[in-house]
Amino acid sequence: MTPKTRLRMPRGMPLFPDRPRLSQEEIEKRLAADDAFGKRCREIFDRVSPELIKDHYDWFILIEPDSGDYFIDPDHKVALQKAREKHPRA
């Protein structure tokens, strides 16, 4: 068995130098979009959670905020499959 060799990189060197770096404003734009997406999902979750917790406690819920649809199942993979069947591009 050949021993593993570890490639030492100087501190501050990018791991992927060929990949373009994002500007600070692009990073902030993406963080704002992620936050807005999370808020839309949270609104739907807060609306449906009281009725779902009674019968489906500890199940997985996947929310598609543009349509307001949500998918629940005890298995995460099954819930994800249901969501992808209905919204393949979301």
Query: In this structure, what token pair is assigned to residue 43?
Result: 């609104």
Residue 14 in any domain: the answer is no
Residue 31 in any domain: the answer is yes
For residue 81, give its domain range.
24-86
Q: Of 1-10, 20-29, 48-57, 78-87, which range is least confident?
A: 1-10
Cα–Cα distances in Å, from 24 out to 2, 19, 27, 31, 53? 43, 16, 5, 11, 40
Residue 10 in any domain: the answer is no
- pLDDT at residue number 32: 98
Mean pLDDT of 3-21: 79
Total structural domains in the chain? 1
pLDDT tens digits, 31-78: 999 999 999 999 999 999 998 988 999 999 999 998 999 999 999 999
Question: Band of the pLDDT at 1, cuts 50, 70, 90?
Answer: low
Mean pLDDT of 18-23: 88
Residue 40 in any domain: the answer is yes
